[in-house]
Amino acid sequence: MAQQKPSIPKGTRDFNPNEMARRNYIFDTIRKHFKLYGFSAIETPSMENLSTLMGKYGEEGDKLLFKVLNSGDFLSKVSEEQLNEKNSNKLTTKISEKGLRYDLTVPFARFVVQHRNELTFPFKRYQIQPVWRADRPQKGRYREFYQCDADMIGSTSLLNEVDLVQLIDDVFQDLSINVSIKLNNRKILSGIAEFVGEADKIIDITVAIDKLDKIGLEGVNKEMEAKGVFPKAIEQLQPIINLSGTNSEKLDTLKELLASSEIGVKGVEEMSTVLNYLEALEVKSEVELDLTLARGLNYYTGTIFEVKALDVAIGSITGGGRYDDLTGIFGMPDVSGVGISFGADRIYDVLNELDLYPEHTEDSVQVFFVNFGSDEGKYCLPLVSKLRKNGINAELYPASAKMKKQMKYANDKNIPFVVMIGGNEMEKNLLSVKNMESGEQNDMNLEELINLIKR
RNA sequence: GUGAUUGUAGCUCAGUUGGUUAGAGCGCCGGAUUGUGGUUCCGGAGGUCGCCGGUUCGAGACCGGUCUUUCACCCCA
């Protein structure tokens, strides 16, 4: 049989033990803060019914969904005529009814509606699972990646937004990543579109403005023009696109400009409220009202969040927002929610680039026992067990291989302490403990070893 | 989906205008050292040159296709 070369699909990755230790450090840190803020864990299946996913992420999103073929002879139900038509979109609905989840928010909305009678509202959940997008991979962009979501649903209070900003701040402080937390509000964007008389072009306008950093003012104007925004409207937009100053200065300007737009006023009010609360708190990261922050899914209706790493160019590492009616499409209208999503894989890339990992993570082995033979090995077993019961990661080499091989094993695994117990030590009832970093070696009993590690 | 780009040992890369048996460093394995890793010395193994096809007396090199990598656009964590 011909050997096949092992490979994995485009845009996916293997993670070796070292990488997993680092990833778990990220997940553990985020999870810790999720819990501190009162979120409970849930999980949903990798696959959802396509009817749940389709149409929730815009036309572009539908294209990026991974679809799963029906089981069995999936073509048997397709007519000759449909096959000959060669219309992929039409055929897809006949031969595929499941798809891999594209994010965690829509499955969460489905979950909430499906389990509404079992849940207590406001419901706060966190969810750390992979999602899949059939995108072309590039820097910081994968086809399989983890999202770490925290959402609260069933409360319109802006205190939730405030909580989320603090949560973001806490997580990135803990990870030692310098970030800028950018805030905007969909209602302000609507107000702006209304103010310039192009309410129906809000998406085109905001998507264009979002690219300000990348393509400059001229590029933004050109793009709006190409999308059919009236020149007069573009002119009126200029002071808004160029808006600068402190958050409160920006708000003052907007308040004046948007006074005629009911929804715009509402947006400015919401933003002021959130920023006011935050001023009284100790948020270490920079929090900025950024009108160019417009990306995001079509379902955001209020506050929009985005977090950028200050020291690495990698796009946003966290995003989120408020959605007033995500559950409506599943038959549960008028339930407002707000949430954020940490992009674990991009955070991983940032930490790698800045080399910000702690040297020893909770995953690593702390004590290694050399195995000198069957009697010696047997003698070690209860000692290893005792260390583990004391919460110390420990292992005994499974065979009495050459000393050199065993030492190399411990060295390669970066294990800080090696215990050697041969005939001498057994007789004296002592452990010969070698500190692998300093090379020092001392005899001691188990209690002393435990104290040495725990201190 | 559009336009570029990459692929030679486990890793990072050399490889002349197409010409014998494709190289290096690191890593790996063994030994110097039968209870001492990381340093040193000696020795060794390891390659269908991404894959398929074409041009040629002859292809790692040239051509076509395909997969993969990276990047930009679209969009996005």
In Å, what is the CA distance from A228 to each residue of A202, A214, A435? 12, 21, 71
Q: Which long-range contacts (CB under 8 A, 24 or more apart) does A437-442 make?
A: none
Going edge to edge, which strands form the sheet with A47-49?
Answer: A47-49, A96-100, A67-69
pLDDT along chain A (455 residues), means of 10: 69 85 92 97 96 88 90 83 76 88 95 96 96 90 94 96 97 94 93 88 87 87 89 90 90 93 95 95 93 76 92 87 91 93 91 78 86 94 97 94 93 93 94 93 95 88
Residue A316: the pLDDT is 87
| A135: CB partners within 8 A, 6+ apart | A11, A64, A141, A143
What is residue A400's DSSP assignment?
-
Q: Judge whether A325 and A335 are in contact, CB under 8 Å.
A: yes
Which structure tokens are listed for A147?
């999202």
In angstroms, the CA of A368 and the C1' of B31 are apart by 26
| A7: CB partners within 8 A, 6+ apart | none
What ipTM was estimated for this complex? 0.85
Q: Whose structure tokens read 């009202």?
A: A289
Which structure tokens are listed for A386?
């005792």
For the entire predicted model, the pTM comes to: 0.89
In angstroms, the CA of A227 and the C1' of B37 are apart by 66
In angstroms, the CA of A2 and the C1' of B49 are apart by 19
Sequence letter at residue A341: S
Nearest nt (C1') from A318 Cα: B77
Q: Judge whether A105 and A326 are in contact, CB under 8 Å.
A: yes
Give the separation between CA A48 and CA A379, rounded to whole angstroms.
Answer: 53
Residue A340: the pLDDT is 95
Q: Judge whether A264 and A191 are in contact, CB under 8 Å.
A: yes
Give the separation between CA A307 and CA A293, rounded to whole angstroms.
Answer: 10
Nearest nt (C1') from A349 Cα: B77
In angstroms, the CA of A439 and the C1' of B38 are apart by 9
- Pairing of the two strands A67-69 and A96-100: antiparallel
Question: Which bases of chain B are under 7 A from a protein CB atom?
Answer: 1-3, 28-31, 33-38, 48, 50-51, 67-77
Give the separation between CA A398 and CA A396, rounded to whole angstroms.
Answer: 6
Nearest nt (C1') from A136 Cα: B1
In angstroms, the CA of A230 and the C1' of B56 are apart by 63
Which structure tokens are listed for A430?
């002592």
CA nearest to nucleotide B51 C1': residue: A5
3-state DSSP assignment of residue A8: coil
CA nearest to nucleotide B2 C1': residue: A136
Nearest nt (C1') from A137 Cα: B70
